[in-house]
Amino acid sequence: MINPVILKELMMEATASIPSIKKREVLVTDDELVELLGDHKAGDNILLVAVLPTYGGGGQEDEASIISYMQFFLLEKVDYKSFKNRDEYLNVFERTLAAAVDFLVQMFTATGRNCTDEILQYDYQIRPVSRKAQCNGYEIQIDSKAFIDNY
């Protein structure tokens, strides 16, 4: 399990070398996202939001494991009226995807320092997010067994 403090520290460490990410926030649930995005300014682009993880268990008694289900959003607030063509809209996704890939690489590098190869297991998904409170970008879900020893 990854606890909230470790998640925030890991997120800050993973994004320290990614200049395109200008603002970082941690939310308790993704329901708070729309409220946060309402206050987000275009000058704060790209915004990285981490949602506190959910946890699940599995396996058999002698091979039980705990999985942390982590959710992140990399979003850019846009003024749709300023787009002159469809390519400008797609460029938002190009920028946020590049930031998402950089973030994933840094997250996997940062979390690997304290884990053995047997524990360092990830599954992830990257999904586009469109027109959520005037923001576009990507949602990343990381399912990880890497934090089993934190509690």
According to the model, what pLDDT value does residue 119 have? 47
According to the model, what pLDDT value does residue 116 have? 47
Domain containing 13: what range? 4-150
Predicted confidence (pLDDT) per residue in 87-136, tens digit? 999 999 999 999 999 999 888 776 554 544 444 467 889 999 999 988 99
How many structural domains does the chain have?
1
- HEC-encoded secondary structure of the chain: CCCHHHHHHHHHHHHCCCCCCCEEEEECCHHHHHHHHHHCCHHHCCEEEEEEEEEEEECCHHHCEEEEEEEEEEEEECCHHHCCCHHHHHHHHHHHHHHHHHHHHHHHHHHHHHCCCCCCCEEEEEEEEEEECCEEEEEEEEEECCCHHHC
Task: Supply the CATH number for residue 43's domain.
Answer: 3.30.70
Predicted confidence (pLDDT) per residue in 4-59, tens digit? 998 899 899 989 999 999 999 999 988 898 889 888 888 888 999 999 999 888 77
